[in-house]
C-alpha cells in the first residue's frame, strides 16, 4: 500500500485517504479507507474506527482527518453489508453482529498489525462498534479504546421518556419489515443504511445478555475478557440509547480492562443537544474531539475535562 501525507479535508465529500480492500477470514471483501503518514514511526498509533450499526464509515471521515492531522494513522471500514462492503444484494447475506466483530473487526486488527508493524493499535468505537471491540480474537493487541454511546440495544436500557417508541421502531417495525424484504430497507425510510437480516435479529432480540443474542449463542466463549486496553467510555445524557445502564452493561464485559466512564451533558459544553450521533460531526472538533485525542495519546483525561466520571472507573481494572 502506498503512503499518503495530506492535509485534512475541507469538504465532507473529499476523502483525504486511500481506499483499500481487506478480506476477512471467511473470504468476504471489506472496503475501507486508510489515512497514513509518509514516514514510519513505531511510536505513532494506528487508530481503527468502528462504526455504529448500519452507519457508513464515511460518517467518520472528518474525525479521521482530525486524528491524522494530530499525527496518527487511521483506518475506517464498513462492516459486511454496509457502504463500501455492500454486495449486489442483501437478501440471503449471512451477516450478524458477531460476524461484524469476530470476522470484520478482526480483519482490521490483523491488517493494522501487518501493515503498521510495531505501532500501537488503538480503537475509537461508536455505539455497537464498542461491542465489536470485545468480539475479535486479536483483542489483546489493542492498547487504548475510546467508545461513544457504546451498548448493544437492550430495550429496557433505553431512556424512559422514549423507551416504548424506540421499542416499537427497532424491535417491532424493523424486524417486521426485514421479514417482508429479506433485509431491513432502512435507507428508504431515512432511518439507517439498509441492514442485513442477521444483524436485525441480533438487535431486536429482547435480552440483556449478548451471549443470548442469536449470533452470540453460537460462540463457545466471549472474547471480551481478553481485551486489556485502557477504555474511555463517553456517554451523553441526551442519548436515548446510551443511558448509564446501557453503557455500564457493556463495560462490565471488559473485565480485564481499566474502564473509565465519562458522562457528559450538552450543557457541560454549552450546547443544547448532542444525542447519539453528533459527537463525530465537525462542529464538535473543539469541544469534544480533544477528549478522545488526549485519551488516545496519553490514556488519561485532561485536567478540566467537562462531565462526570461514572461508576465504571471505580470497578475497572
For the beta carbon of residue 270, count every other beta carbon within 10 angstroms. 8
Question: Is 210 part of a structural domain of the chain?
Answer: no
DSSP 38: S
127 is a domain residue = yes
Domain annotation covers residue 52: yes
Q: Does residue 209 belong to any structural domain of this protein?
A: no
Confidence of residue 41 (pLDDT cuts 50, 70, 90): confident
DSSP letter string over 131-184?
HHHTT-TTGGGEEEEEEES-----GGGS-GGGHHHHHIIIIIIHHHHHHHHSEE
Higher pLDDT, 7 or 77: 77
Domain total of the chain: 1
List pLDDT tens digits, range 194-226: 999 999 999 999 999 999 999 999 998 999 999
Report helix, strand or coil for 202. helix
Span 107-135, pLDDT tens digits: 999 999 999 999 999 999 999 999 999 99
The whole domain housing 260 covers 18-158+223-315
* Integer angstrom CA distances of residue 311 from 219, 220, 260, 315: 29, 30, 8, 7
Please write the tens of the pLDDT for every residue from 145-172. Answer: 999 999 999 999 999 999 999 999 999 9
- For the entire predicted model, the pTM comes to 0.93
Residue bearing cell 421499542: 167
Measuring CA to CA, which residue among 256, 298, 284 is closest to residue 134? 256
- Per this entry, what is the length of the chain? 317
Given a contact cutoff of 8 angstroms between Cβ atoms, the answer to whether 32 and 41 are in contact is: no
274 in a domain, yes or no? yes
Q: Is residue 309 part of a domain?
A: yes
**Measured between alpha carbons, how far is 272 from 14 in angstroms, rounded to an integer?**
29
Whether 92 maps to a domain, the answer reads: yes
Q: Is 58 domain-assigned? A: yes
CATH of the domain at 234: 3.40.50.1820
Handedness of CA 157, 275, 173, 196 (dihedral sign): negative
Amino acid at each position: 500500500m502506498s503512503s499518503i501525507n495530506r492535509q485534512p479535508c475541507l469538504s465532507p465529500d473529499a476523502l483525504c485517504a486511500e481506499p483499500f480492500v481487506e478480506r476477512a477470514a471467511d473470504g468476504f471483501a471489506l472496503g475501507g479507507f486508510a489515512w497514513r503518514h509518509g514516514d514510519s514511526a513505531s511510536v505513532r498509533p494506528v487508530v481503527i474506527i468502528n462504526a455504529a450499526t448500519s452507519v457508513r464509515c464515511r460518517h467518520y471521515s472528518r474525525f479521521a482527518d482530525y486524528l491524522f492531522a494530530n499525527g496518527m494513522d487511521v483506518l475506517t471500514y464498513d462492516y459486511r453489508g454496509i457502504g463500501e462492503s455492500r454486495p449486489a444484494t442483501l437478501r440471503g447475506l449471512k451477516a450478524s453482529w458477531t460476524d461484524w466483530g469476530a470476522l470484520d473487526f478482526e480483519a482490521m486488527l490483523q491488517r493494522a498489525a501487518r501493515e503498521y508493524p510495531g505501532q500501537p493499535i488503538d480503537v475509537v468505537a461508536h455505539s455497537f462498534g464498542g461491542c465489536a471491540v470485545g468480539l475479535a480474537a486479536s483483542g489483546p493487541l489493542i492498547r487504548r479504546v475510546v467508545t461513544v454511546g457504546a451498548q448493544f440495544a437492550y430495550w429496557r436500557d433505553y431512556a424512559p421518556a422514549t423507551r416504548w417508541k424506540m421499542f416499537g421502531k427497532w424491535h417491532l417495525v424493523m424486524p417486521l419489515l426485514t421479514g417482508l424484504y429479506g433485509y431491513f430497507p432502512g435507507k428508504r425510510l431515512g432511518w439507517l443504511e439498509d441492514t442485513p437480516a442477521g444483524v436485525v435479529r441480533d438487535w431486536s432480540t429482547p435480552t440483556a445478555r449478548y451471549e443470548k443474542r442469536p449470533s452470540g449463542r453460537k460462540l463457545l466463549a466471549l472474547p471480551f475478557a481478553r481485551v486489556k486496553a485502557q477504555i474511555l467510555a463517553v456517554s451523553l445524557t441526551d442519548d436515548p440509547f446510551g443511558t448509564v445502564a446501557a453503557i455500564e452493561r457493556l463495560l462490565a464485559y471488559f473485565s480485564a480492562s481499566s474502564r473509565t466512564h465519562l458522562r457528559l451533558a450538552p450543557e457541560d459544553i454549552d450546547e443544547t443537544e448532542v444525542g447519539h450521533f453528533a459527537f463525530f460531526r465537525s462542529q464538535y472538533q473543539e469541544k469534544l474531539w480533544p477528549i478522545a485525542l488526549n485519551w488516545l495519546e496519553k490514556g488519561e483525561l485532561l485536567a478540566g475535562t467537562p462531565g462526570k466520571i461514572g461508576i465504571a472507573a471505580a470497578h475497572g481494572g
